[in-house]
Amino acid sequence: MLMELKEQLLSGSAEEYLSKLFLKIERSSLNGFTSLARESALQQAREFDKNPGKGRLAGVPIAIKECISTKGIETNCSSNILRGYIPPYDAHVIQQLKAEGAIIMGKTNMDEFAMGSSTETSCFGPTRNPWDHDRVPGGSSGGSAAVVAGGEAPCALGSDTGGSVRCPASFCGIVGLKPTYGLVSRFGLIAYANSLEQIGPLTRTVEDTALLMEVIAGHDERDTTSAEGKKSYLPIKEGVGGLKIGIPREYFGEGVSKEVERAVWDAINTLEGLGATWKEVSLPHTKNALAAYYVIAMSEASSNLARFDGLRYGLRPGEDKDWHTTFSDIRAKGFGPETKRRILLGTYALSAGYYGRYYLKALKVRTLIKEDFLRAFKDVDLLAGPTMPIPAFRIGERINDPLSLYLADVFTVPINLAGVPAISVPCGFAGHLPVGLQLIGRHFDEATILQAAHTFEKATPFHERMPEVV
Ligand code: GLN
């Protein structure tokens, strides 16, 4: 789709295309964008129309999640504590996008500090699912997914700490990739749980995801966990003949909706029909993944979010009093309830006396989960299963019951704990709601999951359907 868009922009006008998008966004009720970079984007589009340049994304508008730093454009993680913060620098991925001529069109809504699976914890209110406005778009990159699915942006970036790219991709019927840990620089990504997260693309097709990956992946010395080397993903190899797919036993059964299960099995059968083989495998520690993930993520969050004290940037409400009062006033007013819950639980898990019982234990479970994947990948080339156990739920349905929200992450968080890559591709519908197929690969083997996803996409019509309610 981006390839065709580039042709269209070259023969037509980027300014006109972008103006139409902005008009659509103004009239939209999705609440996907938190702010638009209207002036700078239109200016860049006019420059492209005069002199298109050679960039691989020249003239292509892209929407960016609120937690990715954009020079001169407010970046607030959809949190009151960071309202008004304008970064003086670009994240690495933004520099890469700009170097290839992409146009940053605006910032997208998210769960506050990326904590959630529904985009309901944002200080800007919930984003709506373009397929059904009463339902959540998934989260935490729900704004990015909704604007791509709703035709308000041709592509977007999100971040994925425990599923935040794949979950909204699945709920909104688009493609989303969580890269191998270390493949994409986190420089300029405001940290939630830095040992788990990666920035990833949200697009309409697998090829578009591969194109964005070629632009954003690669070494960056400003991120100490950044891997060496630059990978290429295009052209994507076609066909799945000879590929061995593992089907994790633990990813089916209790808690998985029948409609999701049916759509995912149909997809596996389609891949088999295209020449792949499959066998059942076991990831026995899946049952411990949620507990380990939430202990680790909250512990890291409590430490990462300690820096938000309103002293250097962000919220500074009222009169300054003594240091303790000022500090706690700012944090009490600035953070929403989910963020506070996680800071409290994380601080508890890291406290002397409980550190060994919770945090250290979670780290040990993390190793066991990683070993589950390494063992499975001895026999198979990739794994397939549902991205989410259920289709998009209603706004308000789960927000007051955090545990039920956390449970929905059961198939996405193990991937972050292990650091392996995974992609979600549309594989069918549960009634009027999209279902996502998750393909999981070996460390740094994005190529194989892109290949399987692309071949599947070519053989099926699901990515072509657009939501009608927008
Ligand atoms: N839903 C998970 C959480 O709340 C994952 C969020 C994410 O990937 N940023 O932590």
Task: Report yes or no: 389 and 366 within 8 Å, Cβ to Cβ.
Answer: no
pLDDT tens string, the chain, 470 residues long: the values are: 999 999 999 999 999 999 999 999 999 999 999 999 999 999 999 999 999 999 999 999 999 999 999 999 999 999 999 999 999 999 999 999 999 999 999 999 999 999 999 999 999 999 999 999 999 999 999 999 999 999 999 999 999 999 999 999 999 999 999 999 999 999 999 999 999 999 999 999 999 999 999 999 999 999 999 999 778 999 999 999 999 999 999 999 889 999 999 999 999 999 999 999 999 999 999 999 999 999 999 999 999 999 998 877 777 766 777 888 888 889 999 999 999 999 999 999 999 999 999 999 999 999 999 999 999 999 999 999 999 999 999 999 999 898 889 999 999 999 999 999 999 999 999 999 999 999 999 999 999 999 999 999 999 999 999 998 54
If one residue of 161, 198, 341, 417 were mutated to test the ligand 1 pocket, choosing by the most ligand atoms within 8 A of its CB, it would be: 161
Give me ligand 1 centre to Cα 118, in Å: 9
CB atoms closer than 10 angstroms to residue 361: 16
For residue 371, give the amino acid letter: E
pLDDT of residue 78: 98
Ligand 1, closest atom to CA 405?
Answer: 1
pLDDT attached to residue 469: 59
Q: Can you tell me whether residue 247 is helix, strand or coil?
A: strand
What does the alpha-carbon distance between residue 414 and residue 407 come to, in Å, rounded to a whole number?
A: 12
CA distance 241 to 318: 65
Edge-first strand listing for the sheet containing 198-203: 33-36, 103-108, 61-65, 155-160, 198-203, 175-178, 422-430, 433-440, 382-386, 244-248, 277-281
E strands in 314-464 = 382-386, 422-430, 433-440
Please state, in angstroms and rounded to a whole number, the distance separating the CA atoms of residues 201 and 145. Answer: 10
Peptide bond into 235 cis (omega under 30): yes
Locate the ligand 1 atom nearest the alpha carbon of residue 141 and give its number: 9
Tokens of 269: 């059968």
pLDDT of the residue at 452: 98
Look up the domain containing 82 and give its range. 1-470
Query: What pLDDT is attached to residue 323?
Result: 81
Nearest atom in ligand 1 to 163's CA: 8
User: Residues with catalytic annotation?
Assistant: 65, 140, 164
Number of domains comprising the chain: 1
User: Alpha helices of 351-393 — where are they, by DSSP H?
Assistant: 361-379
Q: Taking each helix axis as running N to C, give the angle between helix 92-99 and helix 206-216, from 0 to 180 degrees, rounded to the nearest 10.
A: 110
CATH code of 429's domain:
3.90.1300.10
Residue 406 CA to ligand 1 centre (angstroms): 8
Span from the CA of 265 to the centroid of ligand 1 (angstroms): 26
Taking the CA of residue 116 as reference, the ligand 1 atom at the shortest distance is 4
Bridge partners of residue 156, in order along the sequence:
63, 202
- Residues with beta carbon inside 6 Å of ligand 1? 114-117, 140, 160-164, 192, 297, 409
**Under a CB-based contact definition with an 8 Å cutoff, are residues 162 and 412 in contact?**
yes
Contact predicate 359/296, CB 8 Å? yes
**4 C-alpha to ligand 1 centroid (Å):** 33
- φ and ψ at residue 439, rounded to 5 degrees: -115, 125
Looking at the DSSP bridge assignments, the partners of residue 133 are none
